[in-house]
Amino acid sequence: MNQLFPQSGIGIEFRNGNFHGVYCKSFWKNFREIDRMEIRDYQRLGPRECGRLYREFLRRQGLKSPWTVVALARSQVLLRALRFPRGMEQELARAVEYQLDALHPFEEGSVAWSHAIWALSDGAKAGASGGNGGRTQSSETQVLVAIAQKQYIEELADWFREAEIPVSQFSVTTTLLLGYLEAGIAAQLRTGKPYFLLHATEQGMELLGCAAEKGLVSREIPLTAEAPPEADEIVALIGKELDSAHSEMRLVSDDRPRVHCCGEGWLPESAAESAHLPFHAVPVVAGASLNREDIAGVAAAYAASHRRGPLSLNLLPAERRSFQPRLAYAPTYALSGLLVVLAMAMGLRGSVQDWIYSRYLERERQALLPGIQELEKLHSANQDTLAHLASLEAFRRSGGLPLDLLDELTRTLPADAWLQQLQYEGNTVTMSGTATSASAVLQAVSSSIYLEAAQFSSALNRTPEGKEVFRIGARLRAQIP
């Protein structure tokens, strides 16, 4: 599959108790590995420490949340093949779900599953996943169904969530390898010969076989590292499963069929040169090791950078998937740049308009300047006249009114009252002094024709002679009769 735009992705696999991550990029027909990481004994370190180391790896690559595919061990996933009549591509999901309970030994509703079409076109091409895959020349469509227990999927998803590692896809190693080796498989089938892939892991081996219009077969060979069989026994088991695969696909047995090998080193490197084996062992990639162990991680990274590639199974629930492409904010940035340009244009437009308008106002001001200067002179003269009149009025009020008020107070205050101070500020009058009866003084002030609202402004005191010391505040009447 050719990529029109550069795509990047990360593949993750757990192998030999270690965490492996592979970062790859693809563009057009090129696919290359950029970097990789390994966390040894990841279970001892715990999810948080693994997450910290993984995020450092992402930061070094300038990534935040790329499409990330986790390769699930074949031992944890059941892989079943179903056949349906052609033309059912749009109804495959419902058809598979109808038969799902018969495909696994677990309780109903306790599994997660995903399906993809395995199709061969013109006897040479492996089809894409889902209803968008290629169609065969036969009347049937073969569908691969991956089934895993929900508990296993949820526990693994929880581990990634606790580690704060964003993941996008859980897929089984088998289908990842088939997608990664699609071109090699197509090239082999064009020769008219079947394609066999032997993938070895810690738990054993899996033999995959496919042929034009014959579909896909999978045979498992369980092995244990605690009690590893002899090399002759392994070869005999592989030869037996090869015969079974030929029989299942109804092929004529080949004397020494080519078997593409990868994974754990169950077979010695010398097997590639041996002519005594019942098969011809070759590496999956020309020039690579016969026991290339990192093939699953690279295949997962390939699937991450070819998200619509063949057999793109995904067992991770949709709500747990995380992905943020590098160009996710490109439309936002483009729109922001456009807004900035428009804002600059609008700002420049306003400045030009303001400059033109200011020139117009300046011309009008110069035309009106003689009249304005004449009005300013008249206004200044009026202000001087008003200030002079105000001064005369203040002088009149401040000079005449206190004398009249004093004259009235002299006539109305009790004979024994003595004013010590009289303050006159604006329309407020404050007087203080002594008298035998301060109340009589307050009554006299209240009856004044010049004052109103008379009241004591402080507490009364007594002199040693027994007279009352008062302080009275009053307000000038607005209209004096």
Instruction: Please report the pLDDT score of residue 102 as a whole number.
Output: 93
Lowest mean pLDDT among 426-435, 448-457, 472-481: 472-481
What CATH fold (topology level) applies to the domain 413-476?
Gyrase A; domain 2 (3.30.1360)
Instruction: Please report the pLDDT score of residue 118 as a whole number.
Output: 82
Instruction: Please report the pLDDT score of residue 132 as a whole number.
Output: 34
For the cut 60, the answer to whether the pLDDT of residue 297 exceeds it is yes
At 70-103, the pLDDT tens digits run 999 998 999 998 988 888 888 999 999 999 999 9
Average pLDDT over residues 395-423: 78
Instruction: Please report the pLDDT score of residue 455 as a whole number.
Output: 92
Average pLDDT over residues 230-236: 84
For residues 417 and 428, what is the distance between their CA atoms, to the nearest angstrom? 21
Instruction: Please report the pLDDT score of residue 304 as a whole number.
Output: 93
Instruction: Please report the pLDDT score of residue 27 as a whole number.
Output: 84
For residues 18 and 291, what is the distance between their CA atoms, to the nearest angstrom? 18
For residues 234 and 240, what is the distance between their CA atoms, to the nearest angstrom? 10
Q: Which residues contact 304 (CB under 8 A, 6 or more apart)?
A: 8, 9, 10, 11, 24, 66, 67, 68, 69, 168, 169
At 130-183, the pLDDT tens digits run 333 333 456 788 899 999 999 999 999 999 999 999 999 999 999 999 999 988
Instruction: Please report the pLDDT score of residue 267 as a whole number.
Output: 73
Instruction: Please report the pLDDT score of residue 204 as a whole number.
Output: 86
CB 422 within 8 A of CB 429: yes
Instruction: Please report the pLDDT score of residue 133 as a whole number.
Output: 37
For the cut 70, the answer to whether the pLDDT of residue 481 exceeds it is no
Average model confidence (pLDDT) for the chain?
85
Share of the chain above pLDDT 90, in %: 36
Q: What is the pTM of this model?
A: 0.65
Instruction: Please report the pLDDT score of residue 47 as a whole number.
Output: 95
For residues 425 and 423, what is the distance between their CA atoms, to the nearest angstrom? 7
In the structure, what pLDDT confidence band is assigned to residue 272 with cuts at 50, 70 and 90? low
Strands 258-263 and 195-201: parallel
Of 474, 471, 449, the residue nearest 460 (C-alpha): 471
Top-tier CATH class for 3-193+288-328: alpha beta
Q: What are the CB-based long-range contacts (under 8 Å, 24+) for 449-457?
A: 449/408, 449/477, 449/480, 449/481, 450/401, 450/404, 450/405, 450/408, 450/476, 450/477, 450/480, 451/405, 451/475, 451/476, 451/477, 452/476, 452/477, 457/430
Average pLDDT over residues 345-356: 80
At 29-78, the pLDDT tens digits run 788 999 999 999 999 999 999 999 999 999 999 988 899 999 999 989 99
In the chain, where are the structural domains located? Answer: 3-193+288-328, 329-401, 413-476
Instruction: Please report the pLDDT score of residue 4 as a whole number.
Output: 62
Average pLDDT over residues 184-213: 89
Cross-strand bridge partners of residue 29: none
Average pLDDT over residues 222-234: 79
For the cut 70, the answer to whether the pLDDT of residue 372 exceeds it is yes
Of 309, 291, 310, 300, the residue nearest 72 (C-alpha): 300
In the structure, what pLDDT confidence band is assigned to residue 394 with cuts at 50, 70 and 90? low
Of 285, 248, 241, the residue nearest 263 (C-alpha): 285
Which residue is it, tokens 């006539």? 411
Task: Looking at mean pLDDT, say which of 18-32, 219-233, 266-280 comes out highest.
Answer: 18-32
Strands 169-172 and 68-72: parallel
In the structure, what pLDDT confidence band is assigned to residue 228 with cuts at 50, 70 and 90? confident
Instruction: Please report the pLDDT score of residue 94 as a whole number.
Output: 92
Instruction: Please report the pLDDT score of residue 124 as a whole number.
Output: 47
